[in-house]
Structure 1
Amino acid sequence: MTDPAAAPRVLPEAPWAREALRCPITGTPLVEVVGQDGALALENTSTERVLRYPVRDGVPVLLPHEAIERP
């Protein structure tokens, strides 16, 4: 299993910049997650509708049609 601390980071270190990145659908903050396939993604913190956005070549793809809804 890959060490999460060694995984590349997508979200900026500066707190103000992290707060600026929001889910385009729910408006909730985003957190970095690693999928079962080891791919880095951003997931919203909504309790109503959990959405995950892919990261491609180190760039988060925050487009509504790219969101993957989790049960």
Structure 2
Amino acid sequence: MPLVEAGLLEILVCPACHAVLREDDAAQELICTGPACGLAYPVRDGIPVLLVDEARTPA
């Protein structure tokens, strides 16, 4: 089951760099696909939390 609806995922972008986001089902996150960014945004109760302050920085 997707984390967010497909239509919503198509219009969401990373708030930091405006790159496309992809789902990571295992981690329950939306991951930025931007090569210089890569922030991971949590999805809580089906709602993406697209705040840079709440994002996890890639390892």
| TM surpasses 0.5 | yes
Question: Which of 26, 34, 50 is 1:46 aligned to?
Answer: 34
Q: Identical aligned pairs, as a percentage?
A: 37
Which protein shows a greater Rg? 1
Q: Which aligned runs of 4 or more in structure 1 are off by greater than 2 angstroms?
A: 10-14
**Alignment coverage as a number of residue pairs:** 59
C-alpha displacement of 1:49: 1.7
- Structure 2 unaligned spans of 5+: none
* SS at structure 2 position matched to 1:10: coil
1:26-65 paired onto structure 2 within 5 Å? 26-34=17-25, 38-65=26-53
- Structure 1 unaligned spans of 5+: 1-7
User: Which of 1 and 2 has higher RCO (CA within 8 Å, sep 6+)?
Assistant: 2
